[in-house]
């Protein structure tokens, strides 16, 4: 009898054990180790030595690249997040219109999001080529002389942004499903009251989807900070380190300069900044996110 009780008690823990074991081995363990390493001078080969806050001090006071990469990444995030949010919302509004063939467009807009970053960077590198790229050719047709996108430090960041906006489909889909769930009666009532489509968007759609906007702001912010694949392959961080993002700074410190302790300290600073920014966004959300419980219930009722 006792044994049976024990089994019963252990059952839920057995079910969640796969994730818990994986978490301990591949997340919690490494997380702790990384924190410890950040206080060490830790080369890939050879002995490591404890240096206290040394890595952090060096980063903030001696390494000018740290500040440059940090500012650059913040700048990238400051453009990338609102731009992607805007495009995603715009696309979502387009594909929720009651016209024929929108489903095909939904598929098309989502397609680049399922394609590898490697493929995207090869594709854009070729399109953006300053000598024979088709983008500059198209621009020349309307009388604009395109810049040497990937070679000109003034334009490289813009090229990265252009290529990264290509993967906006995931965010679009999240907006799309949210907008689709808004009860149509709300719009009909507004129409009867003579509200224009623009008015309907700002008074109905936008407030209802603010929780989703919050979600998208946070996820895109986190991904902007970790952007690595695209810059690595598209620009290699150049020209003249004009796209040397923070993610690349960390990667190079670890695997090129082989300073694992220093790179761990870099990564922890990134983690802290992400946490700070996220909590800041969360804090601000009480001012602009609208949790309309009445609407939510109506939505749930309609679906079933």
Partner 1 sequence: MKMSKKTKTVLYILLGIMTLYFLAPFIYMFFSTFKTEAEAVAYPPRFFPEKWLWTNYVDAWRSQEFGTFLWNSIIVTVCTTAGQIIACSLTAYGFARYQFKGKNVIFIILLSTMMIPWDVTMIPQYMEFQMLNWINTLKPLIIPALFGSAYYVFLMRQFLMGVPKDFEEAARIDGANAFQIYYKIFLPILKPQLILVGVLNMLTVWNDYLGPLIFLQDRSKFTLALGLASFKGVHNTQIIPMLCITVVMIIPPILVFIFAQKYIVEGTSGAIK
How far apart, in whole angstroms, are the C-alpha atoms of residue 291 and residue 300?
14
Phi, psi values for residue 198, rounded to 5°: -65, -45
Least CB distance to partner 1 at residue 213 (A): 11
Binding status of residue 166 toward partner 1 by CB under 8 A: yes
E strands, the chain, are 40-41, 49-50
Q: Which is nearer to partner 1, 115 or 280 (CB)?
A: 115
**Segment lying near partner 1 (by CB under 8 A), choices 13-21, 51-59, 65-73, 151-159:** 13-21
- Kindly tell me which residue out of 43, 112, 146, 238 binds partner 1, with binding defined by CB under 8 A: 112
- Kindly tell me which residue out of 50, 67, 189, 191 binds partner 1, with binding defined by CB under 8 A: 191
Q: 3-state SS string over 165-202?
A: HHHCHHHHHHHHHHHHCCCHHHHHHHHHCCCCHHHHHH
Total residues found in the chain within this entry: 304
Q: Which parts of 238-257 interact with partner 1 (CB under 8 A)?
A: 247, 250-251, 254-255
Q: Based on the number of CB atoms within 10 Å of its own CB, is 211 exposed (0-12), middle (13-18) or buried (19 or more)?
A: middle
Q: Give the per-residue contact string, 15-44, with partner 1 (x = CB under 8 A; - = no).
A: xxxxxxxxx-xxx-xxx-xx--x-------
Q: Which parts of 200-219 interact with partner 1 (CB under 8 A)?
A: 211-212, 215
Binding status of residue 48 toward partner 1 by CB under 8 A: no
**Segment lying near partner 1 (by CB under 8 A), choices 62-70, 72-80, 148-156, 267-275:** 267-275
Least CB distance to partner 1 at residue 53 (A): 18
Q: Which is nearer to partner 1, 95 or 156 (CB)?
A: 95
What DSSP string runs through 270-283?
Answer: HHHHHHHHHHHHHH
Q: How far apart are the first and last CA of the chain?
A: 43
CA dihedral 125, 129, 134, 140 (to 10 degrees): 140
Binding status of residue 72 toward partner 1 by CB under 8 A: no
**For the chain, how are helix, strand and coil distributed in percent, rounded to 5?**
75, 0, 25
How far apart, in whole angstroms, are the C-alpha atoms of residue 164 and residue 113?
10
- Kindly tell me which residue out of 69, 164, 243, 264 binds partner 1, with binding defined by CB under 8 A: 264
Phi, psi values for residue 40, rounded to 5°: -120, 155
Q: Which parts of 127-156 interact with partner 1 (CB under 8 A)?
A: 127, 131-134, 137
**Segment lying near partner 1 (by CB under 8 A), choices 52-60, 76-84, 106-114, 146-154:** 106-114
- Kindly tell me which residue out of 61, 97, 286, 293 binds partner 1, with binding defined by CB under 8 A: 97
Least CB distance to partner 1 at residue 90 (A): 8
Strand partners, 236: none
Binding status of residue 157 toward partner 1 by CB under 8 A: no
Please tell me the count of residues contacting partner 1 according to CB under 8 A: 90
CB contact at 8 A, 156 and 238: yes
């Amino acid at each position: 009898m006792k044994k049976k009780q024990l089994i019963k008690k252990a059952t839920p823990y057995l079910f969640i054990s796969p994730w818990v074991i994986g978490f301990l081995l591949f997340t919690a363990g490494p997380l702790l180790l990384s924190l410890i390493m950040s206080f060490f001078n830790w080369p890939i080969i050879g002995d490591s030595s404890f240096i206290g806050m040394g890595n952090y001090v060096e980063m903030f006071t001696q390494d000018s690249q740290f500040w440059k990469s940090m500012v650059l990444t913040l700048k990238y995030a400051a453009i990338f997040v609102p731009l992607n949010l805007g495009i995603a919302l715009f696309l979502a509004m387009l594909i929720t219109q009651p016209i024929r063939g929108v489903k095909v467009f939904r598929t098309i807009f989502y397609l680049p999001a399922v394609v590898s970053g490697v493929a995207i960077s090869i594709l854009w590198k070729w399109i953006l080529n300053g000598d024979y790229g088709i983008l500059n050719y198209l621009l020349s047709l309307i009388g604009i002389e395109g810049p040497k996108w990937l070679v000109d430090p003034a334009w490289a960041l813009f090229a990265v942004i252009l290529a990264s906006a290509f993967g906006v489909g995931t965010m679009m889909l999240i907006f799309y499903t949210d907008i689709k769930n808004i009860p149509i009666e709300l719009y009909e009532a507004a129409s009867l009251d003579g509200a224009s489509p623009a008015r309907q968007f700002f008074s109905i759609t936008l407030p209802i989807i603010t929780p989703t906007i919050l979600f998208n702001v946070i996820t895109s912010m986190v991904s902007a900070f970790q952007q690595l694949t695209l810059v690595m392959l598209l620009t290699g961080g150049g020209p003249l380190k004009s796209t040397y993002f923070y993610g690349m700074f960390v990667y190079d410190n670890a695997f090129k300069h082989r300073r694992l302790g220093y790179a761990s300290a870099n990564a922890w600073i990134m983690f802290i900044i992400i946490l700070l920014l996220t909590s800041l966004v969360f804090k601000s959300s009480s001012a602009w996110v609208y949790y309309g419980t009445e609407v939510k219930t109506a939505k749930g009722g309609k679906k079933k």
